[in-house]
Amino acid sequence: MRFQLLIVFFLCCFSAVAQEDIIIGKTSHLYSEILQEDRILEIHLPKNYDKDPDKTYPVLYLLDSYFNFSHAVGTVDYLYLNRLIPEMIIVGVRNTNRNRDLSPESPDLSQEEQDRLGLTGQADDFMAFLEQELIPYIRSVYRAAPYEVLTGHSLGGLFSTYTFFKNPKLFDAYITISPSLWYHNDLISKEFEEVFEDPSDLSASFYLTIASENKGTMRGDTYKLSGRFMNYINKHEKADLRFHFEPMPEETHQSTGLPALFNGLRFVFAPTQYEIPRTREEIIGNGGPEQVIQDVQKYFEKLTEKYGFQVDDQETLIDLGFALMRLDDFKEDAIKAFGANVAAHPESFDAYSTLGMAYEQVQQLQKAKENYEMALKLVKRTENPEWEFYQADLDRVNRKIANKDEASE
- So what's the pLDDT on residue 105? 81
Q: Contact at 8 Å (CB) between 101 and 44?
A: no
Quote the CA–CA distance of 373 and 356 in Å, as a whole number: 9
- So what's the pLDDT on residue 338? 97
- So what's the pLDDT on residue 3? 46
List pLDDT tens digits, range 275-289: 999 999 999 999 999
Q: Write down the CATH number for the domain with range 280-408.
A: 1.25.40.10
| CB within 8 Å of 395: residues ≥ 6 apart | none
Q: For domain 21-272, which architecture applies?
A: 3-Layer(aba) Sandwich (3.40)
Quote the CA–CA distance of 316 and 272 in Å, as a whole number: 9
- So what's the pLDDT on residue 1? 47
Q: Minimal CA–CA distance to 127: which of 34, 257, 261, 37?
A: 34
Q: Minimal CA–CA distance to 61: which of 184, 171, 136?
A: 171
Grouped pLDDT means (10 residues each) for the chain, 409 residues: 49 57 91 96 94 94 95 97 95 93 80 68 93 98 97 96 96 97 87 90 95 85 94 92 96 95 98 95 96 97 95 95 95 96 95 96 96 95 88 94 80
- So what's the pLDDT on residue 360? 95
Quote the CA–CA distance of 207 and 358 in Å, as a whole number: 40
Query: How high is the mean pLDDT of the chain?
Result: 91
Domain boundaries, the chain: 21-272, 280-408
- So what's the pLDDT on residue 121? 73
> What Cα–Cα distance (Å) separates residue 163 from each residue in 2, 125, 127, 297?
69, 11, 7, 35
- So what's the pLDDT on residue 12? 56
